[in-house]
Amino acid sequence: MEQGNSNPASNSDEARLDQLFRAYRAASPDPEASANFMPNMWTRIAARENSTNWFGRVAKTLVTAALAASVILGMMMSSMNQSSAFFNATFVDALRADHASSLEPLHLDRISQLEPE
């Protein structure tokens, strides 16, 4: 990673650091694995698989319960709606029922007066 630094002091520091890293590499040989490396690794894999399976089962149960609850609620809502006149009426019917008393009677003669002669 020398960046073309022309300062001799900086270059000397860079060289010192490179040498220090090399010394570190030499002072830290690759460690040997113990005899239990493989057995311990497989034990941990099995433990993680079990916990994953457990979470999977719980998640599956929750999803199934949520679906069942949705179906039941849907059926309940549907049966309630069928028995209600309000939900079965059309928009015009509902509007008429709500404002029947306040609507003015229709006068055809007045409409004819509005038409151009």
Partner 1 sequence: MLVEFDLIQKAQKGDAAAFNQIVSAYRRRIMGTISHVIGRPEDVEDVAQEVFIRLYFSLGQLRTAEVFEPWLYRLTVNASYDYLRKSRRRVESRMADLSEQQVIMADAVAGSRAQHDDTEKRRVRDTVQELLSTVSKEDRILLTLKEVEGLSLKELEKIYNVNENALKVRLFRARQRVLKKMKEVTGPSPFVAKDDEAS
Q: Which residues bind partner 1 (CB under 8 A)?
A: 1, 3, 13-34, 37-38, 40-42, 44-45, 48
Give the total residue count for the chain: 117
Report in angstroms how near the CB of residue 60 gets to partner 1 at its nearest: 19
| Closer to partner 1 by Cβ: residue 51 or 70 | 51
Least Å distance, CB 18 to partner 1, is 7
> Which two three-digit tokens encode residue 103?
């609507």
Closest to partner 1 by CB, 28 vs 82, is: 28
**Contact indicator for 67, 75 with CB cutoff of 8 Å:** no
**Integer CA distances (angstroms), 96 to 83, 104, 106, in order:** 20, 12, 14
Angle at CA of residue 92, ends 74 and 108, nearest 5°: 175
| Shortest separation between residue 55's beta carbon and partner 1, angstroms | 13
Cβ proximity to partner 1: between 20 and 77 the closer is 20
